[in-house]
């Protein structure tokens, strides 16, 4: 598999995982300033009310996001030696899952007044789709079709 493509996908996964860590920072009072800054960028309507429910929610969302990035990273690494047809089938499944996340998360972000989150989601899914469209196995398929 193409080392450059793999490195770019690992960078994408790292960005997702870092965002998960940023979300988790709201779980603790000592690190809440990071979460405050992030919600300021999202144009939150006011200061956050760090009650136990919000702290748990941020910790949970952060952990899920961290795990999501790590899962895609495992797919990047696991498909390295996989036959092209199997690799592409797996990436199609991952892409469907990410598109589902994008539609639901972005719609709920807009509905709850956090439209800027939908913009960041668009950047993230666009970056992913550009990378997956350049998957090395796709290039091989195009060459085989032309032969």
Position 139 scores a pLDDT of 67
Q: What is the pLDDT of residues 17-51, one digit of tens each?
A: 999 999 999 999 999 999 999 989 888 888 889 99
Q: What is the pLDDT of residues 94-110, one digit of tens each?
A: 999 999 999 999 999 99
Position 122 scores a pLDDT of 98
The backbone region for 2, taken as left when phi is positive above 0, alpha when psi lies in -120 to 50, beta otherwise, is beta
Range of the domain at 88: 3-146
Question: Residue 141: which residues within 8 A CB-CB, separation 6 or more?
Answer: 84, 88
CA distance 22 to 17: 9
Per the structure, the count of domains in the chain is 1
Q: How many residues does the chain have?
A: 147
SS (H, E, C) 119-133: HHHHHHHHHHHHHHH
For 12-38, give one letter per residue: b (16+ CB within 10 A) or e.
bbeebbebbebbbbbbeeeebeebeeb
> Structure pTM?
0.87
């Amino acid at each position: 598999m193409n080392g450059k493509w793999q490195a770019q996908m690992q960078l994408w996964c790292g960005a997702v995982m870092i965002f998960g860590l940023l979300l988790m920072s709201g779980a603790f009072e000592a690190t809440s300033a990071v979460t405050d800054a992030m919600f300021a960028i999202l144009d939150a309507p006011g200061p956050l009310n760090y009650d136990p429910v919000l702290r748990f929610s941020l910790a949970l969302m952060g952990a899920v996001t961290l795990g999501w990035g790590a899962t895609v990273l495992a797919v990047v690494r696991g498909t390295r030696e996989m036959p092209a047809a199997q690799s592409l089938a797996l990436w199609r499944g991952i892409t469907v899952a990410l598109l589902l996340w994008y539609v639901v998360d972005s719609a709920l972000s807009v509905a709850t007044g956090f439209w800027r989150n939908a913009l960041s989601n668009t950047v993230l899914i666009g970056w992913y789709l550009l990378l997956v469209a350049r998957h090395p196995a796709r290039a091989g398929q195009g060459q085989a079709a032309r032969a």
